Chain A
Amino acid sequence: NAGVTQTPKFRVLKTGQSMTLLCAQDMNHEYMYWYRQDPGMGLRLIHYSVGEGTTAKGEVPDGYNVSRLKKQNFLLGLESAAPSQTSVYFCASSYWDASSYEQYFGPGTRLTVT
């Protein structure tokens, strides 16, 4: 199993450009998450999904959109990138039952907006 993969690993954008980050998981997990990680701050939830076709806002959703058309994929879009969106982005997926819950993280995408 590849686990959770993210594409691309690095990207540099100019202000105003758009891009889509792809997250894929092969563990048949229902839940998927997008986080951003900035220096001195904890991981902050951007958007999440509790199943195919569903999405919900997290703590810092402004400037981002997401889609979960297929259970294994969760896409994060930046329509008009801003320097404040320079960050490391992590995708995660999880299963959840009565006795267990664990999030599996992708390797991260380092995005710089100039």
Chain B
Amino acid sequence: DSGVTQTPKHLITATGQRVTLRCSPRSGDLSVYWYQQSLDQGLQFLIHYYNGEERAKGNILERFSAQQFPDLHSELNLSSLELGDSALYFCASSVEEGLTDTQYFGPGTRLTVL
């Protein structure tokens, strides 16, 4: 158990809908990262927050947004869902945001868009 929690574990929804994925980092970790893992694209970095501030964006679609709250938990919002958004979404956390900081991953949320 990495200490990172993600809810829900599974999510099944329809095209066009909006969902929110939630992540609680390990106690004391200030950085939260979001990733998407799909069969055809592999593991893709989406976005990074540090202590409430957005630090970096990766391959995140405009239909997706995220935020990190004062208590350091984070939410990833996915809207106007398409079939291709079906994937495993990971949240990871680290103590700081430095080069050597190890990211610890949550168990993931498996999103299925029908």
Partners in one complex: no
